[in-house]
Each structure stands twice: as structure tokens, then as C-alpha cells.
Amino acid sequence: MHTGHYEGHAATVGGGESDALPHILLIDDVPEDIRATLMLLKTQPWRLSVASDAHQGYQRALALRPDLIVLDVHMPHMDGFSLCRLLREAPATRHTPILFLSSANTSLERLEGLAVGAVDYIPKSYAPEEVLARIRIHLQLTWRAPPPDEDRLAEPEPQGDEIVLRAAMRLIEHQLDDIPSLPCLAQKVGTHEKRLSAIFREHLGLTVFAYIRDARLRRGQALLCESTLSVQDVADLVGFRNACNFATAFRQRIGMTPSQFRQQSLGIEHA
């Protein structure tokens, strides 16, 4: 199995240097399944790197900072959705276009791929020429408006655990009304339950469940201030299935009921 670098054979457009060529990272545990696409990519004026699993792909993405990533979904140990979440939190790859190229092609899988941050989702059944055309389109869009290098260099590079933490926090914030179980949450950010719990305790001084409760109450505060939703509706939206439970947790944390908080916030706004 090849996992090294491949160089395109076409000449550089405009006579530029080889290191100025677009760099594509392809992450697939069975690259033989897309051999025709891989061979076609090698004929392009691009640099091509290949990784054979998600963990290797993650390390290469951070080290190589490719211009575009092509990513499979079903891989051992960590799937493509989990990897995409991590790549979206790392400054080195936050703006990198990610295209899923996968045999996983249900509507739910395609929607999840786009929801976690991919710019395209391509079934492996597509002709290699169409895959190439889609990659070329996204490269052209990226090269016309790349993220400023200065901004990326100025931002401190987080460590591995910090990226996992950021990915978990973002997932929690986006799914407050239906947060997955702790083992499932950990799997979705490329780790396991014990490690995720340790990361939250080390970096935030909280358990995962305590963070979730705080996030729900913070969002509840915002909704009470910014909307006219009923307390029950607010409770539903932030994951409390019972308005009484929401009110009890809210009063313990904020020192007043949700209704009192809303009245106070409206009074301050109109003072």
C-alpha cells in the first residue's frame, strides 16, 4: 500500500515552482478502491499525498497543510466524520476544503458530511473524471480567496487534546437538544470515553456532563433574553425535557427563575 507523496506529471502552469503547486491530501484506508481516480489525479499539475488511515491523515494534514483534502468515511479506529471535526478545529486546516469521497452514500451520511464541515460529498461510484472536475472547482475557489497566512500564523497552534476539546465543545453546542451518549460523543471526536472525560477535567475543571449542563443554561439565558419563546420551548431547545427541571437548574445556577430572569433582562434593556 502506498502512503507516500506522489507528484503530478504535468508542467507547472505559468512556469511556477513545484512547491507552489496545489497540494492534495487523500485519506483512504483502501486506496485500491479508487485506483482509477488516484491514477487520474497523478496526471494533474498538483502535488499528491496519500494517507492510509484517519490518524495518519490527521498528522499529515497538520504537518503538510494541504490545499485540499479528499476524505473517506468508513475507516478503522476513527471515521471520516470524526476526523473532519478535528480538522475543522485545527488552525492549520480550518479553512482547507474537505471533500468526502466515499461508498457511504445515504442521504443521512451525505448530510452529516456537509454538517461537519465538508464542502462536497462525492460517491465513489462517480466517474473519476467527475471527481477530478469537482476537485478542480474547489481548488479554483480556494486559490482565488485563500485565508490570510498572517492570520493563521498569528493564532497559537493548539495541542492534540485541545483540538479534541474544541471539537467536542462545538458538537455539544450544536446538539444541545439531543446530545449523544458520552461514548458516542467521544467517538464522534475521534477518541474514547475515558480520554474525553480526562481532557474536560484537565482543561476545564469540569466533567463532560457539568459542561453540558452549563452550556444548556447559557443557551437558555440567551434565548430568554433574545426571544419570546415560552419557558417550556426554551427548555426543549436546550435539552431539558421538563420545564420544571429547567427552572430548578436555572434557579440554582442564576439565583432566580427563568421568568424572573426574563423580566429583569427586559427591565434593564428598557431602562
- Number of structural domains the chain divides into: 2
Q: Which H, E and C letters describe the chain, residue by residue?
A: CCCCEEECCCCCHHHCCHHHCCEEEEECCCHHHHHHHHHHHHCCCCEEEEECCHHHHHHHHHHHCCCEEEECCCCCCCCHHHHHHHHHHCCCCCCCCEEEEECCCCHHHHHHHHHCCCCEEEECCCCHHHHHHHHHHHHHHHHHCCCCHHHHHHCCCCCHHHHHHHHHHHHHHHCCCCCCCHHHHHHHCCCCHHHHHHHHHHHHCCCHHHHHHHHHHHHHHHHHHHCCCCHHHHHHHCCCCCHHHHHHHHHHHHCCCHHHHHHHHHHHHCC
Give bridge partners of residue 100 from the DSSP assignment.
Answer: 71, 121
pLDDT of residue 241 exceeding 90, the answer is: no
pLDDT of residue 4 exceeding 80, the answer is: no
Boundary-marking domain end, from 154, 182, 203: 154
What was the pLDDT predicted at 18? 53
Q: Which domain holds residue 252?
A: 160-269
Task: State whether 93 and 186 are in the same domain.
Answer: no
User: Band of the pLDDT at 268, cuts 50, 70, 90?
Assistant: low
For the chain, the average pLDDT equals 86
What was the pLDDT predicted at 15? 37
pLDDT of residue 3 exceeding 60, the answer is: no
Task: State whether 165 and 51 are in the same domain.
Answer: no
d(CA 204, CA 135): 39
Mean pLDDT for the stretch of residues 161-172: 94
Q: Give the distance, in angstroms, between the CA of residue 203 and the centroid of all CA atoms in the same chain.
A: 20
Report the CATH number that the domain containing residue 120 is assigned in CATH: 3.40.50.2300
Report the CATH number that the domain containing residue 224 is assigned in CATH: 1.10.10.60
Task: State whether 25 and 66 are in the same domain.
Answer: yes
What was the pLDDT predicted at 156? 59
Q: What is the pLDDT of residues 12-69, one digit of tens each?
A: 333 345 557 899 999 999 988 899 999 999 999 899 999 999 999 999 999 999 999 9
Using alpha carbons, list the distances in angstroms from residue 205 to 94, 179, 210, 211. 26, 20, 10, 9
User: Band of the pLDDT at 186, cuts 50, 70, 90?
Assistant: very high
Q: What's the one-letter identity of residue 32?
A: E
Task: State whether 215 and 174 are in the same domain.
Answer: yes
Task: State whether 90 and 202 are in the same domain.
Answer: no
The dihedral region occupied by 158, where left means phi > 0, alpha psi between -120 and 50, and beta the remainder, is: beta
d(CA 102, CA 72): 5
Task: State whether 119 and 189 are in the same domain.
Answer: no
What was the pLDDT predicted at 83? 96
Boundary-marking domain end, from 154, 171, 203: 154
Boundary-marking domain end, from 130, 154, 178: 154
Task: State whether 178 and 149 are in the same domain.
Answer: no
Q: What is the pLDDT of residues 109-166, one digit of tens each?
A: 999 999 999 999 999 989 999 999 999 999 988 765 445 554 444 555 667 899 999 9
Give bridge partners of residue 26 from the DSSP assignment.
Answer: 50, 70
Task: State whether 145 and 170 are in the same domain.
Answer: no
CB of 256 within 8 A of CB of 221? no
Instruction: Indicate the pTM of the whole model.
Output: 0.79
Helices 80-89 and 107-115, axial angle in degrees (round to 10): 20
